[in-house]
Chains A and B, each alone.
Chain A
Amino acid sequence: MEKFVRLKAAAVPLHEPNIDTDQLIPARFLGKPRRAGFADFLLRDRRFAEDGNEIPDFVLNKSAYRDARILLAGANFGCGSSRESAVYALSDYGFRVVIAPSFGDIFAGNCIKNGLLPVMLPDAQVAELCRQVTVTPGAPVTADLETLAVEAPDGSVFAFTMDPFKRQCLLEGLDEIGLTMRFADRIAAHEDRNDDVLQAG
């Protein structure tokens, strides 16, 4: 997995509540092979019209935000379906950080597994970041996982918290399966203790 330590990059404001994973990647693309890249599927029906042309008004399509690698989002971002493809689509598009007041639990877990940093900040701070990058499109925002801080374009610093285990996984790009294999003896012992309960009838 790709490590995440810090990133200074342009941020794009999409400050809407309840953007679900069906919107992030519509179900009709889920059967596609990953190697083809999922970038074009991200927010497909917000970005592209029926004829395949871009919808110029949509914020991701505006030239000032083309290089954005940080997404500023609304509450409950990534709610709904567990599809990890929603994270693949964000990553393949180029995002490494999503900053929102809250996230769908399954989505936030999927982010960590793919080197995408989900940062939770209070709604007022997300709104302030959105305001600054709307006034000055392309202005850089910094997300630092070592110091657990986000720096706004005007230099204000917003601290955030993250589960220490998840932080370590991201900072080191840890392979969780490899880590868990170190507990093989304990897993086997648990299975021995519970064998009668585990058996299917």
Chain B
Amino acid sequence: MQGASVPSAQTLLDKIWSNHVVHQNPDGQSLIYIDRHLIHEGSRQAFDLLAEKGLSARRPDLTFGTPDHYVPTAGRNAAAGWDPDRRAVVEALRENAHRDGIALFDVGDRRQGIVHVIGPEQGITLPGMTLVCGDSHTATHGALGTLAFGIGASEVAHVLATQTLWQRKPKRMRIRVAGQLGPGVSAKDMILAIIAHIGAGGATGHAIEYAGTAVRALSVEGRLTLCNMSIEAGARSGLVAPDDTTIAFLSGRPYAPRGAAWDDAVLRWRALHSDPDAVFDREVVLDGAAISPMVTWGTSPEDAAPVDGRVPDPGSEPDLEKRRAMIRTLDYMGLAPGDSLGDMAFDRVFIGSCTNGRIEDLRAAARILGGRKAAIPGLVVPGSGLVKAQAEAEGLDRIFRDAGLEWRDAGCSMCVGMNGDLVASGQRCASTSNRNFVGRQGKGARTHLMSPAMVAAVALTGRLTDVRRLAQGG
């Protein structure tokens, strides 16, 4: 090779990418192999596209499905009011999966749950792999060092038919969170602070690698939360290099390798990190100790502020279009410039979603609630049937029920409301989910994103409360 005596330093992204290139065009467009494909009810259009071409899944053994968006969370039979249209969407997934021989964690299977919760939980998601799903929060799986990204229906059909995708390698971005997070500050606060810093389009065209001591100190569950919201900063993928924490998490998972294959895999995974002198297209550094519990006030995840913050003033925005957009946002959210976030009165809470529906999230919320009554109603929706079982084994369900919150079955639920779990128009909801978009939790719903502990604190008082004070005050 010409002048290539020393191989150039590579990032984690470069390493995973180069292992998956089946073909590369001179212009850089690459046909890349997809190791794992996850499907939910949204795959219906893709199966329809395949049927039009008379095709079926090429590698059903690498494809895994579960219904999550349209499943009811309170009672799962028709008598309990399962809307027939929604039921039909779940049935279409079942038919398509069965016809093509795709493993399905169906309603009634205790492994059923949100696709991004069960991938890691089952060990389907593994370091160094490529993984896709017709869902933008597929970035979640990058927490295990997996190159994972969301795709549209046409791409789902393409992966089903060929197990590949045409892609151009994204640009490399590294976000380092130095130091350590303070007490009461979580991965959710970290990612909201990052998005507020770089903007909702700040990482468009990039894959983010999260690094730094504060990221290393996170559990896998925290890393899943962090990577999950990469898309809210514009990045299709977020990555954390695998380490001892990752390997300990995966050991013994049902679909993880075993025996000698496990040992081989661990050796491979140990090499999956960015070389010390690897160059990134963009680098961002944040101080973990400077991150406060965060809350969103607007209708984009970038509209996030520390818990003791105030609603900004559109009058100080120089750009006319942006100023108009801010005025529209404040009107929708029922807020005025300069309002203290602590003065907002909430109507309900939602604890769950692919962002914060894992066992650690439920534990964090239960710790705040423990033995007290909620002042406002809300749902607690575990991310999977197994998370639900674990929570019940630990008695967390009792804490939620005794507080007056509803303890539900696993699904996406009120994050997107497609199953009918909606926030009423004009209601203000403290939510552990990922999107505060206009109408996201229901037409006219006002969503404020925050961590599970912060949402639990809102449940107790009906107001925004700094969990750091709550923890200190006992």
Please determine whether A23 and B154 come into contact, CB atoms closer than 8 angstroms. Answer: no
Which positions 16-33 of chain A face chain B at CB distance < 8 Å?
16-18, 20, 22-23, 26-28, 30-31
Name the segment of B105-113, B157-165, B184-192, B461-469 touching the other chain.
B157-165
A196 close to B (CB within 8 Å): yes
A84 lies within 8 A of B61 (CB): no
Q: Write out, one digit per residue, whether chain B residues 297-328 have a CB within 8 A of any chain A CB (1) or not (0).
A: 00010100000000000000000011011001
A-B contact pairs, 5 of them (CB 8 A): A18-B300, A27-B416, A81-B135, A180-B164, A187-B163
B357 proximal to A (CB < 8 A): no
Comparing B29-37, B335-343, B373-381, B394-402, the segment that makes contact with chain A is: B29-37
Q: Which one of A4-12, A100-108, A137-145, A151-159 contacts B?
A: A100-108
Would you call A82 and B35 a contact (CB within 8 A)?
no
In-complex Cβ contact of B62 among A81, A114, A180, A198 (8 A): A198
Known: A187-B33, A201-B255. A105 touches B236 (CB 8 A): yes
User: Measuring CB to CB, which residues of chain B are less than 8 angstroms from any residue of chain A?
Assistant: 22-23, 25, 27, 29, 31, 33, 35, 42, 45, 48, 53, 55, 59, 61-62, 70, 85-86, 89, 123-124, 128-129, 134-136, 149-155, 157-158, 161-164, 166, 168, 170, 200-201, 204-205, 231-232, 234-236, 253-258, 261-262, 264-265, 268, 300, 302, 321-322, 324-325, 328, 416-418, 435, 437-440, 443
Inside 8 A of B86's CB, which chain A residues have their CB? 31
Question: Which residues on B sit within 8 Å (CB–CB) of A20?
Answer: 300, 435, 437-438
**Which B residue sits closest to A113, measured CB to CB?**
B154
B196–chain A nearest beta-carbon distance, Å: 14
CB-based nearest B residue for A26 = B439
Separation of A113 and B256 alpha carbons in the complex (Å)? 35
How many angstroms between the C-alpha atoms of A157 and B324 in the bound complex?
28
A53 sits at the interface (CB 8 A): no
B236 neighbours in A (Cβ, 8 Å): 105-106
Which of A34, A79, A102, A103 is close to B45, meaning CB atoms less than 8 Å apart?
A: A34
B321 pairs with A23, CB closer than 8 A: no
* B155-A200 in contact (CB<8A): no
CB-CB under 8 A from B231, the residues of chain A are 80, 106
Q: A104-B234, A164-B29, A194-B33 are in contact. List 19 more A-B contacts (CB 8 A).
A: A16-B321, A20-B300, A22-B440, A27-B418, A28-B417, A76-B204, A103-B204, A105-B204, A106-B152, A106-B231, A106-B236, A177-B157, A180-B31, A180-B161, A180-B166, A183-B23, A191-B33, A197-B268, A200-B124
B325 and A16 contacting across the interface, CB-CB below 8 Å: yes
Contacts of A186 in B (CB 8 A): 22-23, 31
Residues on the A chain within 8 Å of B264, using CB: 196
With both chains docked as a complex, state the minimum distance between the C-beta of B425 and any C-beta of chain A, in angstroms: 9
In this assembly, does A173 line the interface, its C-beta being within 8 Å of a C-beta of chain B?
Answer: no
Q: Does A96 sit at the interface, judged by CB under 8 A?
A: no
A45:B155 contact, CB within 8 angstroms: no
**A74 within 8 Å of B (CB atoms):** yes
Q: How far is the CA of A102 from the CA of B418 in the complex (A)?
A: 28
B246 to chain A, nearest CB (A): 16
Contacts of A94 in B (CB 8 A): none
The minimal Cβ–Cβ distance linking A201 to chain B, given in whole angstroms, is 4
Task: Check if A15 is an interface residue, CB within 8 A of chain B.
Answer: yes
Instruction: Give which listed residue, B25, B136, B162, contacts A180 with CB less than 8 A.
Output: B162
- Nearest Cβ distance between residue A135 and chain B, in whole angstroms? 16
In the complex, the chain B residue whose C-beta lies closest to that of A32 is: B85
Distance in Å: Cβ of A167 to nearest Cβ of chain B? 10
Docked CA distance A183–B438 (Å): 43
Q: How far is the CA of A163 from the CA of B25 in the complex (A)?
A: 12
